[in-house]
Chain A
Amino acid sequence: MKTKQYSAKIFEIELENEDGFISFFDKNYLFFQNNLIVINGQESDKIKNYLDSKDLKYVFNLDIPVQKKQKTNLEPIQKAQEKKEEPKVKPIEKAKTNLKVLDKLIRSGQEVKLDGDLLLLNRVNSGGSIIINGTLIVTQIVDGSIRCNGDFMMLQASSKANIVFHDVEVDNKFLQDKLNRVELINNEIVITPALKETSWV
Chain B
Amino acid sequence: MGIVIAVISGKGGVGKTTTTANIGLGIAQNDKKCVVVDFDIGQRNLDMLLGLENRVVYDMVHVMDDGIGLKQALIKSKMSPNLSFLAASQTKDKSVLDSDKISKLVSGLKEEFDFVILDAPAGIESGYEHTIEFADRALVVVNPEVSSIRDSDRAIGILDSKSKKVKDGQEVDKFLIINRIDSKMVQSGEMLNSDDILEILSIPLIGKIPEDKGIIDASNQGKPIILDENSKAGQAYQRVASRICGEKVDFVDVESHKESFMQKVKGIFK
Contacts and interface: CB of A to CB of B under 8 A. Distances in A.
Q: Do A and B bind each other?
A: yes
Interface of A: 105, 107-110, 123, 125-128, 143
Given A105-B202, A107-B157, 12 more contacts: A108-B154, A108-B157, A109-B157, A125-B200, A126-B146, A126-B150, A126-B200, A127-B150, A127-B153, A127-B154, A128-B153, A143-B200
B236 interface: no
Contact of A108 (B153, B199, B202): B153
Nearest to A109: B154
B156 interface: yes
Contacts, number: 32
Interface of B: 146, 149-151, 153-154, 156-158, 160, 199-200, 202
Contacts of A107: 153-154, 156-157, 160
The binding surface of chain B is classed by DSSP as: helix
15 contacts: A105-B202, A107-B153, A107-B157, A108-B154, A109-B153, A109-B154, A109-B157, A109-B158, A123-B199, A123-B202, A125-B150, A125-B153, A126-B149, A126-B150, A126-B200
A107 B159 CA distance: 11
A126 B149 CA distance: 9
A22 to B, nearest CB: 48
Contacts of A123: 199-200, 202
Contact of B157 (A110, A126, A143): A110
A108 B160 CA distance: 12
A74 B243 CA distance: 63
A143 B150 CA distance: 11
A65 B200 CA distance: 53
Nearest to B160: A107
A114 B151 CA distance: 25
Contacts of A126: 146, 149-150, 153, 200
A95 B141 CA distance: 41
A123 B254 CA distance: 28
Contacts of A109: 153-154, 157-158
Q: Which of B149, B157, B158 has the most CB of A within 10 A?
A: B157
A105 B159 CA distance: 14
Shortest beta-carbon contacts, A-B, top 7: A107-B157, A108-B153, A108-B154, A109-B154, A107-B153, A108-B150, A127-B150
Nearest to A107: B157
A128 B202 CA distance: 15
Nearest to A125: B153
Contacts of B153: 107-109, 125-128
